[in-house]
Amino acid sequence: MKLHDLHNTVPRQARKRVGRGDGSGHGRTAGRGDKGAGARTGHTNRPYFEGGQIPLIRRLPKRGFKNPNHIEYEVINLAELEELFEAGAVVDAKVLQERGVMKKGDRPLKILADGDLTKALKVTADKFSAAAKQKIEAVGGSCTVIEHPVYNEMERRAARKAAAAAEAKKG
């Protein structure tokens, strides 16, 4: 056995040596075809390029409207508060997160009226539905709204727009 008889035992695909004459099978155009941008050096297709065809994202219908100012709340119902807390307990986002009820801590908290409440609780949240506030206060509890300048500004803007629209309608 001589050195030139040795070869690697792991099977590997042979490297395609392009542009090395017609006998190699990859000569002349070197596998790039004739003419066009693809035959030129430095050409790359961007992802999702469909060869000049109208791209899929432009063919699909666009529907609806996504409000950039939409606030997504973490929603808790009164039924959950009834199960988790004893009478006189203080309920806020921090306590709810410690108990594993609130999934995400970055969203503002809103209390909704689904279920019944029999205990007086001191609830602090970013927002209450009218029915939830009524039910909490009916059993002797209290509702405290956290003042957020961002949310309040958006509500003020919405109120101003509504007032302006009503004024325009009158006049």
Structure confidence at residue 150 (pLDDT): 65
- H helices of 72-148, in order, are 78-84, 93-98, 130-138
8 A C-beta contact, residue 117 and residue 81: yes
8 A C-beta contact, residue 74 and residue 106: no
* Longest Cα separation, the chain: 105
Whether pLDDT at 155 is above 80:
no
Q: Token pair of 38, please?
A: 């693809």
How far lies 97's CA from each of 113, 142, 147, in Å? Answer: 20, 20, 20
Structure confidence at residue 103 (pLDDT): 81
Whether pLDDT at 130 is above 90:
yes
The predicted-structure confidence for 84-105, as pLDDT tens digits, reads as follows: 999 999 999 899 998 888 887 7
CATH number corresponding to 74-159: 3.100.10.10
How far lies 153's CA from each of 110, 147, 157, in Å? Answer: 18, 10, 6
8 A C-beta contact, residue 78 and residue 111: yes
The predicted-structure confidence for 37-66, as pLDDT tens digits, reads as follows: 889 999 998 888 888 899 999 999 999 998
Structure confidence at residue 134 (pLDDT): 95
Whether pLDDT at 171 is above 80:
no
pTM of the model: 0.54
Structure confidence at residue 149 (pLDDT): 65
The residue whose two tokens read 């529907």 is 63
What is the pLDDT confidence band of residue 117, given thresholds at 50, 70 and 90? Answer: very high
Whether pLDDT at 23 is above 80:
yes
Whether pLDDT at 83 is above 80:
yes
E strand segments, 9-87: 74-77
